[in-house]
Amino acid sequence: MRAKPSYTTNPQSAQQTIVRTATAVFVSAWQSMTLAQQQAWVEVAATFPTGKESDAKLSRGGLVTVPRGPFSPWNAFLACNMNRYLSGYSLITDILIVPPLGLSLPEPLKALHATSSTGQIFVDWEYINPGPKAERLEIWIKSVDALVHPQMIYTEARNANGTLTISAVRSRGGVYITPPRGTYKIQAQIVDKYGRTSQPSELVLTRIQGDDMFTYFTIDQQVISFGSQTANIAETDLDLSLLIPAGAHSAIFLIELRSNDGAGGRSQLRLRKSAGTHDMMTGTIKGDNWGSAFDNGVCEIDSARHIKYQFAILDGTANIAIVLHLLGYIS
């Protein structure tokens, strides 16, 4: 049986309690359905992207997680109903029993932008075709330093292009706080009334406090590439001085971890400033013959434009391909 899609971002957060309660309701609804009603979800399950498809295409290496199959009919039923509920489109008791068939996915956003000042983040968005639809916009945020865990910060009925001022975020302790100093990832997606999601928007980064300038390369630079890694790599120095100019304080990365076999396991790539304590760590992945994980993030660099990287196989015997893309820098 396939694992159900994950909707929680912090095991200690109130979000997990909400998801668990909703899951129990959806389990009860599924069990009360007839076999014919359950089997009707087979066709919907086949429409979800699979792990064999490009993660860069699906999630753009960002914050919003795209549910990926292969899915069972139950997984598809859960995904659609959970998305409807969490986006605010429906009440928890408004269960979608009849599956959505023969319909196109929601249209993604045309553009998403973010700027900031002390204690505030300003977001604006554009639709390809503005106007009311039976869909909802979701905006997600997290801080690169992990003080603010991934969270849906805003949702509204899809209509005209709009703006948002974020003056409070939920900390890891579950308390709402003024956005602290640091770099933030922001991404958005559209959810329709059937719980199906658009491709996520481009990931945007903004930094609170300071007059930082973000510079992105026209073509990202591949600075690490191991086609098959089956053992840990001790902390190793990486010289970026030929790519990043003097005066820059941080590098912007896209990390790609891809399992090459079906052995299973989890792996992790860690980036660290050579002299300091600021870290960027990827999420972990379960190894299978098509599993992959991408993570965008910012890592501080030292005055010589060096960082250290470290690779670890956390469990299992995964055969992992590692690619580290340098997207740009912050000065």
- Give Rg (Cα) of the chain: 21
Task: With respect to residue 95, please indicate whether it lies within any of the assigned structural domains.
Answer: no
- Domain count within the chain: 3
- Report CA-CA distances (Å) from 191 to 5, 16, 95, 102, 180: 16, 20, 16, 17, 29
Task: With respect to residue 25, please indicate whether it lies within any of the assigned structural domains.
Answer: yes
The C-alpha atoms of residue 141 and residue 150 are separated, in whole angstroms, by 6
pLDDT in the model for residue 57: 43
Digit-by-digit pLDDT tens for the chain (331 residues) are: 333 444 444 444 566 788 889 999 999 999 999 999 999 999 888 877 665 544 444 444 467 776 666 788 998 999 899 888 888 877 878 899 999 888 888 898 999 999 888 889 999 999 999 988 889 999 999 887 667 888 889 989 989 999 999 999 887 667 788 888 888 889 999 999 998 888 888 888 888 875 567 787 877 788 888 888 888 888 899 999 999 988 888 888 888 777 776 555 677 888 887 655 555 554 444 333 334 556 667 788 888 888 888 888 776 666 788 888 888 888 7
Pairing of the two strands 204-208 and 182-192:
antiparallel
Task: With respect to residue 316, please indicate whether it lies within any of the assigned structural domains.
Answer: yes
Sequence-distant (≥ 6) Cβ neighbours of residue 61 within 8 angstroms: 55, 203, 254, 256, 294, 295, 296
* CATH code, 158: 2.60.40.10
Q: Is 222 found in the same domain as 317? A: yes
Task: With respect to residue 294, please indicate whether it lies within any of the assigned structural domains.
Answer: yes
Task: With respect to residue 62, please indicate whether it lies within any of the assigned structural domains.
Answer: yes
- For residue 165, the enclosing domain spans 109-208
Q: Is 194 found in the same domain as 221? A: no
pLDDT in the model for residue 51: 58
Where among 182, 208, 234 does a domain terminate?
208
Measuring CA to CA, which residue among 99, 95, 110 is closest to residue 44?
A: 99
Instruction: Count CB atoms within 10 A of the CB of residue 288.
Output: 15
Task: With respect to residue 103, please indicate whether it lies within any of the assigned structural domains.
Answer: no
Q: Is 76 found in the same domain as 117? A: no
Q: Is 220 found in the same domain as 198? A: no
Q: Is 165 found in the same domain as 191? A: yes
Task: With respect to residue 99, please indicate whether it lies within any of the assigned structural domains.
Answer: no
The C-alpha atoms of residue 305 and residue 287 are separated, in whole angstroms, by 32
Measuring CA to CA, which residue among 64, 68, 280 is closest to residue 152?
A: 64
Task: With respect to residue 8, please indicate whether it lies within any of the assigned structural domains.
Answer: no
Q: Is 119 found in the same domain as 72? A: no
pLDDT in the model for residue 202: 84
| Contact present, 64 and 206 (Cβ < 8 Å) | no
Q: Is 238 found in the same domain as 161? A: no
pLDDT in the model for residue 298: 77
User: Partners of 280 in the beta sheet?
Assistant: 271
